[in-house]
Amino acid sequence: MTSKPEKTLETFPNLFRERDYHIHMQIPEFTCLCPKTGQPDFATLILDYIPDKKCVELKSLKLYVWSYRDKGVFHEAVTNKILDDLVAALKPRYMRLIARFYVRGGIFTNVTVDYRKEGWQPEPRILLQEFNSQSNTRE
């Protein structure tokens, strides 16, 4: 197993290109350094995307995220950079990255960035009734 961070994002072919489907990931152990103080910043990254031809390989994503551990970078810059790198590697139909940074100096910071492939339109949303197993009723 690799024991060092990597900047390379590996991919694999999307075998279901004929349909839009949603991939959701939570990465609760993101760390980088404050470029002003050098103190660590901690965040949970929430990645949602609709793949086109490629999907991201999870181990490479983990090592890529790890590569920021010793980097001094502002929250807004790192969130945009990660999205740009993922879009360059995957060329998805749609991607959203949310970085939820933990409190520092009494302030929580959330940064949300989006990408939409030119010409791509999402399928209409379908709302299904939820079944409440507690009361045996539909909501």
User: What's the Cα-to-Cα distance from 50 to each of 82, 92, 94, 116, rounded to whole Å?
Assistant: 16, 6, 5, 10
Determine whether 55 is an active site residue: no
Question: Under the phi-then-psi rule, with left for phi > 0, alpha for psi from -120 to 50, and beta for the rest, what region is 130?
Answer: beta
Tell me how far the alpha carbon of residue 122 is from its chain's centroid. Answer: 19
The string of DSSP letters for 48-70 reads: EEE-SSEEE-HHHHHHHHHTTTT
The token pair at 73 is 């970078």
**Catalytic-role residue among 34, 48, 52, 85:** 34
User: Is 34 considered catalytic here?
Assistant: yes
Residues written for the chain: 139
CB 80 within 8 A of CB 45: no
Q: Please list the active-site residues.
A: 34, 41
